[in-house]
Amino acid sequence: MHINKRVFKLALKIICSFTVFLLLISAVLFTQQNVPSTPIDGKILRAIMSKKTSVILFWNGFFRDSRWTLPVDTLHAKCPNANCIITNQVHYLSSVEDYAAIIFHTARSFSLLKSRPRQRAAHQFYVFAQLESPEHTWHNLNAERNFYNLTMTYRLDSDIVWSYNVMRAKETEEIVAPRAQVMWRNADTSWTQNNTDLLLSIGRKKKLAAWFVSNCKVPSRREKLVKQLQAHLPVDVYGKCGNLSCARFDNACDELLDTDYKFYFSFENSICLDYVTEKFYNALRRQIVPVVFGGANYTLFAPPHSYIDVQDFKNVSSLANYLKYLDGNPLEYAKYFWWRRYYTVDTFKGGLQTLPYCELCQRIQTHPAVRQTQIYEDINAFWNENICTTKGRIEF
């Protein structure tokens, strides 16, 4: 009994010490994140006070990135139709109530020391921001009823659509997708049949399919789908779930998709409405045909006949047979590149990274009354109810 008490006291000390350590670390991070900014330029301050310039605050980080992929802590966004400043510095303005909008990243739980703002002004927009699927949303949304005014997510029914990439029309440079409604031009595949460079590139490809993956057990059961496909055709698996290795962000790995493989498996970890991640767009930018598996209607994201949707097939064998058919018919395979003559995938350069924030800024400046009339009574229902499934249409 005496030994048990000693063990208990020792365990208690360890737990207390660890708790204090976590609190100290949180305090340091919190302090660093909220170091007061340099004084605001007088001209900018007057624009803010007159409501001609809106300041948007990131309340918490985008995972480990406090800047949300932006190059600096405080950015004067070059928005075409609105004046906007975006910052992660809570003391950029004298009071948290002075911000026109506050963006909350909800993929992870908020920190204990910065759970939610203590004050809220009547004019402020609170924005629910999310790029992860509901299957990987760990923040407790039930505690935030009647809290958010706007949504900024990958979902096409969001107030501001925040996607990984966009499709542009080459002729007009207009963003055409993703959108809730898209008018694609008819697939003109004729030019691909006489494109010598394209056909030579296809002829040099000697491998069938590749899959780069790091998470092996996921809600979509994609690993089971790939295993069944491997019974019909060769699939090279790179990463933690396979026997081949390729470092993330290694250009040499990406070049393999251009030179060696005909198909890239862009299989999402969750089968959820509109959930399309960077894997799909990365493949579209390469000289390869993406094979997609997810819960989205992909015709709203990319041109028809630019990808192969697993869900269009009844079973694995019919999908495998079609891939083998294309492998043996290079002219038919080449038709999947028709769209490159008319569309391009934007790679977040030239200010696209600020696009959703500019849309938010324009919205709050153009429709300030929305703050009083629009509120998400149950954000958990919006985000989670009837949005995901664990079983796709294809049988496997």
Per-residue confidence (pLDDT) for residue 191, from 0 to 100 = 95
Reported as a pLDDT band with limits 50, 70 and 90, residue 355 is confident
Q: Which residue, 95, 105, 86, 102, is CA-closest to 149?
A: 102
Per-residue confidence (pLDDT) for residue 284, from 0 to 100 = 97
Q: Which range among 79-83, 170-174, 337-341 shows the weakest confidence by mean pLDDT?
A: 79-83
DSSP code of residue 185? P
| pLDDT tens digits for range 32-78 | 333 344 556 655 655 565 568 999 999 999 998 888 888 899 998 88
Q: Which residue, 376, 388, 338, is CA-closest to 148?
A: 376
Residue predicted with more confidence, 285 or 370: 285
What are the residues facing 293 on neighbouring strands? 267
Q: What would the mean pLDDT of 9-15 be, rounded to a whole number? A: 57
Per-residue confidence (pLDDT) for residue 31, from 0 to 100 = 34
One-letter amino acid identity for 298?
A: Y
Q: Which range among 76-80, 131-135, 326-330, 392-396 shows the weakest confidence by mean pLDDT?
A: 76-80
Mean residue pLDDT across the chain: 87
Residue predicted with more confidence, 17 or 124: 124
Alpha-carbon Rg for the chain, nearest whole angstrom, is 25
334 contacts 202 by C-beta, under 8 angstroms: yes
Q: Quote the CA–CA distance of 266 and 135 in Å, as a whole number.
A: 18
Q: Which residues make Cβ contacts (< 8 Å) with residue 53, sequence separation at least 6? A: 44, 47, 83, 84, 85
| pLDDT tens digits for range 86-121 | 999 999 999 999 999 999 999 988 876 678 898 899
Q: What would the mean pLDDT of 211-215 be, rounded to a whole number? A: 94
Q: Which domains does the chain have, with CATH numbers?
A: 42-164+353-387 (no CATH), 178-345 (3.40.50.11660)
How far, in whole angstroms, is CA 134 from its chain's centroid? 12
Q: Quote the CA–CA distance of 93 and 99 in Å, as a whole number.
A: 7
Per-residue confidence (pLDDT) for residue 313, from 0 to 100 = 98
Q: Quote the CA–CA distance of 86 and 70 in Å, as a whole number.
A: 9
**Cα angle 229, 245, 262; round to 5:** 45
Per-residue confidence (pLDDT) for residue 373, from 0 to 100 = 78
Q: Quote the CA–CA distance of 170 and 183 in Å, as a whole number.
A: 15
Reported as a pLDDT band with limits 50, 70 and 90, residue 352 is low
Phi-psi region of 277 (alpha: psi -120 to 50; beta: other; left: phi over 0): beta
Reported as a pLDDT band with limits 50, 70 and 90, residue 27 is very low
125 contacts 371 by C-beta, under 8 angstroms: yes
Sign for the CA dihedral angle at 216, 221, 222, 228 comes to positive
**pLDDT score of 360 more than 80:** yes
